[in-house]
Structure 1
Amino acid sequence: MCEPLFMDLTSRLDERWALRRFWTVSDSLIFKLTAIIMEPPAVPPPCGCLFTFYSNSPKGPPGIAPGETLCPTHTIDITPYSTLLINPSWRLHLSNFHYTQLPYRNRTYPSLEHAYQTTKAAIMTRGPAAEVTDEEFERFEKLTVAKVKSVGGKIQGKITEWDRVRRGIMTELLDIKYGRQGTERDVLLGTGTAVLRHILPGREHDDVGRLGAALMRIRDAGLNGM
């Protein structure tokens, strides 16, 4: 006679894993069947992944850009970053130079950099309460994003007033760009828990302008449902 013995053990692993063991015991043979039921996590788990980006970032999957690293798990399996895999240009969406219609203070700019530098011109010229004029908007709007950056860097004027507000303005612009529904938000959330670093060629170990840190703040708030 066989005496079946059934044991159902459930163990939670990382809040999403369930492990069930079924044992069958007979007079002559022990059969052990282990079934692991896994529900994929909503975001990749914390690991040693580091992604870099800049205006001319290479297209392709995570791990191929200068300075990027993948933890051992994702070197073998990068499917947790499926949002990035279906968009080869995902790194470009993280750059302020990426062309995207961005509404800011009753105007719509062709990129975040356009909005930032045009606002800078107004404040540097007339003070922190200044609004962008039609002339300023039209002058900057028609420039390429690289030219906008160059022109903005040469603006002379009220530098002290600008220094007081520039971080707040950048935060506003980033919140607008990544807070709305769309590709930019999907890409940012799709980076999961990887460290993000804004680099320049030859400066792969620097987070230039602390842009990577700012994006991680927005991303982590979004992943936490805030």
Structure 2
Amino acid sequence: MRQLSRRTFIIAAPLALVGCVSNQPQVEQSWPVPADIKALYGPVMNEPYPLPAVDMSKINPKYWRQEVAFNGPYSPGTLVVDTQARFLYLVQENGRALRYGVGVGKAGLALEGEAVVQYKRMWPIWHPTQDMMEREPDRYGHLGDGMPAGPDNPLGARALYLFKDGRDTLFRIHGSHEEWSIGKAVSSGCIRLLNQDIIDLYGRVPEGTHVIVLQHNEQGLS
């Protein structure tokens, strides 16, 4: 695997978990959705909190889950996040990868470099930062013990917790019910997937998975 520079995680820690909270959606065009994609993003009823189908006509087809040719030098099993292109890749054998569309943090406020999935959680609890609770006590002050799991939780149905050198980076790869946010720079740190996609990814990657985050990749990986 290619060695990255030692510019490992650039962390805006107070902003990291703020990034799980979204901005407002924008009006977008509509795309036709084939039956196989509708099936991938249909309702999920075998969860503690059932998930509705996603209206994929609102999401550019390049952000739909798909297998692609992969041009990167990374080993199979690695997760590669290209924040500029808004893609997350699960590298596979023979020059292929499974690609997911993501929403990411604004440039300069996210992370860059190497990490590992230290642990992962189903229907995780979300904790606002102390700064958030102090700045907006009416909105977040009552969440000192965290926001319970559920369909409105900012972390969605699953979360992967990224650590570097044994330390929590405060960044998560997590789910979201806000389909309009996929493919956008909508937050200040978190890497979000559709809930149907994070459930799929969660089942494919074990704890200890190596993660590469590319902040300014110009060449493209697929």
TM-score calculated relative to the size of structure 2? 0.24
Structure with greater proportional helix content: 1
Q: Which has the higher contact order (CA 8 A, sep 6+)?
A: 2
Structure with greater proportional strand content: 2
Q: Which of the pair has more CA radius of gyration?
A: 1
